[in-house]
Amino acid sequence: MSALAQAAKSLLLKDFVSAFFLSMRQFFAPKETINYPHEKGPT
């Protein structure tokens, strides 16, 4: 990787921004266990 490309990558914080958007997408995704108390079978 050239020095210019590495400098641009570090200045734009590409890895940080992509990880941030990935975590925000997972945070606002529909929850799988939202109906947990209603889905329990008889004990």
Helices (H) and strands (E) in the chain, counts: 3, 0
Q: The pTM is what?
A: 0.52
| Phi and psi at residue 18, to the nearest 5° | -65, -40
* pLDDT tens figures, 14-42: 888 899 999 999 999 987 776 666 666 66
Closest by Cα among 15, 13, 17 to 25: 17
Give pLDDT, residue 41: 64
